[in-house]
Chain A
Amino acid sequence: MILSASVIGTSHIRAGLPCQDAHALAALPNGAQLFALADGAGSAPRSDEGAKLITGAAIEALKAVLAWQSAAQTDWPSTFKTIFEAALGGVRQYAGDMQADANAFAGTLLCGVWWDGGLAAAQVGDGALVIRAADGGLATALAPANGEYANETVFLTTRNALETMQVFTASKPITGLCAMSDGLTRLALQWPARAPHANFFEPLLAFAASAESRNAEIEAFLSSPRVCARSDDDKTMILFAK
């Protein structure tokens, strides 16, 4: 079961800003799940559009790659470079059409593919991806950067952004995953190791494993007072569990 939600943060509501997070999903006929999330830069005037563009372009690029090769056989580091370049190209093209600066659409990107025998994912930016292996062990597959300053963030449109791309691959079954934007990482990971907080993920993955669970419940959770008291930023969560 795959669940997902992007919700606006209370600070964005107060400031009259739109939700600058976006996500996109797609399922392939062979059962593989594609996922992408983007978090638009707070200072970029059209980053809400940018985040939607970036996630849409990433999913299309992933589909194109997997249309003619199996995920297990793919050379992911070089493929993700192509996918991220395609997403950046999509932003630049759209900005060009609009006669705007691509930086106006700045956002992060975290995307990947889950299949029966493994997982491949990559990010530029400050999101996180936590996975659960068949033995139930949780691990941080993609972590927000740990620079000198809190929340040091590279956006897809930042110069040389692709040099900071992190890639994770697993060639064993992954039974659960949770991808999240920067608005959730401090609630979900334990600093400084950025290790998964088990009491955060285990109830969520159990929830996602139930066929009756709905996206609306994840939305309500992400907008709940106890979450917003800890983080007033936009929040995106993509949850998958078998």
Chain B
Amino acid sequence: MPDNALLKVEFADNPEPRCPVVLLLDTSGSMAGEKIGELNEGLAVFEQELKADPLAALRVEVAIVTFGPVRVREVKSGVGDAIRSDAGEAFVAATDFMAPNLSSEGNTPMGEAIRTGLKLLRERKQIYKQNAIQYYRPWMFLITDGEPNDDWKNAARELRAEEDGKGVLFFAIGVDKADMDVLGQLSGKRGPMKLRGMAFREMFQWLSHSLAQVSRSRVNDAVNLPPPGWGQIDTSN
């Protein structure tokens, strides 16, 4: 057989499976100053790290919801304008993700943000199904320095139902004076984590590396996430 016989082999053209992630970011007034600056730098690191992994860059899709007030953010240009809550527009592949520059305002409607994130994920899955795109279990990553000032208990119930149906992996991260007690009551699966100081950069590195691992994993195969060097599991509640 000539050496080049296997060069004739062509590959099936399947769309890459997608791993959607929603970042729920607290941008309330208490985040003003150093914290929002570090958060923005962390998002820029997140963008760089995701794009540095060619496979993850194709498979991971990012949407950002800020609170308060609750806004879905445009993440294609780096401007980060508020856009309507629509899963077709809210998510971009990591290759096209441009970290927004966020500013702080308002209070902390965490419950509404969680419900918005869950809605976006449900809609995104519908889009995948309609287009025969395979997908991984979505991630939702909440970062806050405060306590919710809206009806977070109903949102927690909705979140737990979604978790029980294996619909989402939820992580809550407390910064500075965050109410870790409330954060501990959101997820039914996983305790909140406390960010060490202002280690946003390390946290977003961890998140991008973890998503990169998930985006090449199998669902029933446990993913060995890298150890979080940026915080600790809060076991006090």
A contact set with B: CB distance below 8 Å: 11, 41-44, 106, 126, 147, 149-155, 158, 182, 186-192, 197, 199-200, 203-204, 206-207, 210, 212-213, 217-218, 220-221, 230, 232-233
Contacts and interface: CB of A to CB of B under 8 A. Distances in A.
B222 A150 contact: no
B84 interface: no
B136 A213 contact: no
Interface stretch (B7-15, B75-83, B190-198, B200-208): B7-15
A153 B217 CA distance: 10
A153 B218 contact: yes
B219 A149 contact: yes
A186 B55 CA distance: 14
A187 B16 CA distance: 11
Contact of A203 (B8, B13, B135, B219): B8
- Which 7 residue pairs of A and B lie closest in terms of their CB atoms, listed nearest first? A150-B17, A150-B134, A197-B12, A199-B10, A153-B218, A203-B8, A210-B1
Contacts of B222: 43
A200 B12 CA distance: 7
Given A150-B17, A188-B12, A41 B216 contact: no
B219 A213 contact: no
B5 A151 contact: no
Contact of A150 (B10, B136, B223): B136
B220 A152 contact: yes
B221 interface: yes
B48 to A, nearest CB: 18
Contacts of A203: 5-6, 8-10
B224 interface: yes
A61 B22 CA distance: 48
A186 B3 CA distance: 25
19 contacts: A42-B221, A147-B219, A151-B218, A152-B218, A154-B220, A186-B14, A187-B12, A188-B12, A189-B14, A191-B14, A197-B12, A199-B9, A200-B10, A200-B11, A200-B12, A206-B5, A207-B6, A212-B1, A232-B55
A232 B136 CA distance: 17
B32 interface: no
A155 B221 contact: yes
Given A43-B224, A197-B11, A210-B5, 8 more contacts: A149-B219, A153-B218, A187-B12, A190-B12, A197-B12, A199-B9, A203-B8, A220-B6
Interface string B150-180: 0000000000000000000000000000000
Interface of B: 1, 3, 5-6, 8-15, 17, 55, 132, 134-137, 216-224
A232 B216 contact: yes
Given A11-B216, A42-B218, A191-B132, A151 B17 contact: yes
Contact of B135 (A149, A153, A210): A149
A204 B134 contact: no
Nearest to B215: A150
Contacts of B11: 187-188, 197, 200, 230
A178 to B, nearest CB: 11
Contacts of B15: 191
B134 A149 contact: yes
Contacts of A218: 6
Given A149-B136, A150-B134, A207-B1, A155 B220 contact: yes
A189 B60 CA distance: 22
Contacts of A187: 11-12
A203 B9 CA distance: 6
Contacts of A204: 6, 9
A207 B8 CA distance: 10
B32 to A, nearest CB: 39
Contacts of B218: 41-42, 126, 151-153, 182
A220 to B, nearest CB: 8
Contacts of B6: 203-204, 207, 217-218, 220-221
Contacts of A41: 218, 221
Nearest to A196: B12
B134 A158 contact: no
Among B216, B217, B219, max chain A CB count under 10 A is at: B219
